[in-house]
């Protein structure tokens, strides 16, 4: 998906040039942040004070 957006700039061609320049490098960052936030996380067990 990211390679398609990066190789085919006609997908965002209707935006102003300055906005395109900001969007192209920030798009992978935003997708990664959202995916990391939505991922299931494993809870760590509470350790006794002697093992902390």
In a domain, 24, yes or no: yes
Please state, in angstroms and rounded to a whole number, the distance separating the CA atoms of residues 35 and 21: 23
Per the structure, how many domains does the chain have?
1
Average pLDDT of the residues of the chain: 79
* Residue that is written with structure tokens 């299931």 in the block: 40
Q: Global pTM?
A: 0.51
Give pLDDT, residue 34. Answer: 92
Cβ 12 vs Cβ 20: under 8 Å: yes
In a domain, 1, yes or no: yes
In a domain, 3, yes or no: yes
Express each pLDDT in 10-33 by its tens digit: 777 788 888 888 887 888 888 889
In a domain, 20, yes or no: yes
Three-state secondary structure call for residue 40: coil
């Amino acid at each position: 998906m990211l390679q398609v957006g990066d190789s085919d700039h006609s997908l965002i061609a209707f935006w102003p040039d300055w906005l395109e320049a900001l969007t192209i490098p920030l798009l992978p960052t935003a997708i990664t942040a959202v995916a990391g936030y939505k991922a299931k996380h494993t809870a760590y067990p509470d350790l006794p004070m002697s093992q902390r």
